[in-house]
A = this chain, B = another copy of it.
Amino acid sequence: MERAIPDIVVGRLPHYLRALQHMSLEGRRLTSSQELSERLGISAAQIRKDLSLFGEFGKQGTGYQIDYLLNQLRQILKVNQIWDIALVGAGDMGSAIARYQGFTDRGFRVVMIFDNDPSVIGSQIGPFTIQSTDELVVAIQSADVRIAMLAVPAANAQEVADMLVQAGIKSILNYAPISLNVPDDVHVQYIDPVIHLQRMTYYLE
C-alpha cells in the first residue's frame, strides 16, 4: 500500500511537516491547504491531493487540525521516533553537522563520527570521539544504524559509500559534490547548494 505512493509526493511531506511544526510553535491550531500553499509555493489542490493519499485529514470549510496532521505526518514519515545517524567526515562540514541544532525534535541524532585522518582520530567533537573509518563497518553493524551522512571530499565519497552499504546503511545524505552508485535498496539524497542558488538566479535581473 505505502509503496504505491510516488516518491515525488513523499518528498513533499517533510515540507508540510516543517510548515506545520512552525505553525504549532506559533501556538496555531487550524490551517488550510490555501495557507500551506502560500507558505510553500505548492498549489492548494496538490497539497489536498497529496494528503488525501494517506487519509482524511481535513474537513471542507474548517481545514486541517495542525497538531493532528503533524502527528499523522510524523507517523507516515516514521519520525515519531529518534533515528541514529552515523556521520563520516570530521572536517569543517562534518564538524558543523555534528553541532547542528536543527535535528532537535525532528527525528534524528548523530551518534557516531568517523574520519580517516590519523591526526583527528581519537579527538572530540562535542560529546563524540572521532573513530577511524577502519572501524566503520563493524561499529555501524553493532549499533544497527541505518542512516549515514557523508561529509568527506568528493574523491573519497564513493569508497566510503561502498563501506556504508556493506555496513547495512539504507539511507545516505551526501554532502560531497558527486553522484554515488549504490544498490537499489539504498536511498541517497544530496545536499547541493547550487540547486538552491540556481533557483534564485532565475529571478535576478
Which chain A residues have a beta carbon within 8 Å of chain B's beta carbons?
2, 7-8, 10-11, 13-15, 17-18, 22, 41-43, 76-79, 83, 85, 91-93, 95-97, 99-103, 106-108, 146-147, 149, 151, 153-154, 170-171, 173, 177, 179, 187, 189-204
A201:B95 contact, CB within 8 angstroms: no
Number of copies: 2
Partner of A96, one of B77, B93, B106, B146: B93
A194:B106 contact, CB within 8 angstroms: yes
Q: Which residues of B contact A85 (CB under 8 A)?
A: 197
Q: Which residues of B contact A101 (CB under 8 A)?
A: 153-154, 177
B14:A195 contact, CB within 8 angstroms: yes
A11:B199 contact, CB within 8 angstroms: yes
A201:B107 contact, CB within 8 angstroms: yes
5 smallest A-B Cβ distances: which pairs?
A: A102-B177, A92-B96, A171-B200, A93-B96, A189-B196
B202:A102 contact, CB within 8 angstroms: no
How close is A18's CB to chain B, nearest CB, in angstroms? 7
Which chain B residue lies CB-closest to A125? B92
Interface centre among A93, A193, A200 (most CB of B within 10 A): A200
Q: Which residues of B contact A107 (CB under 8 A)?
A: 194, 197-198, 201
B91:A197 contact, CB within 8 angstroms: no
B83:A177 contact, CB within 8 angstroms: no
Given known contacts A42-B8, A91-B96, A99-B92, is B191 in contact with A191 (CB within 8 Å)?
yes
Which chain B residue lies CB-closest to A19? B179
Which chain B residue lies CB-closest to A105? B194
Q: Which residues of B contact A171 (CB under 8 A)?
A: 197, 200-201, 203-204
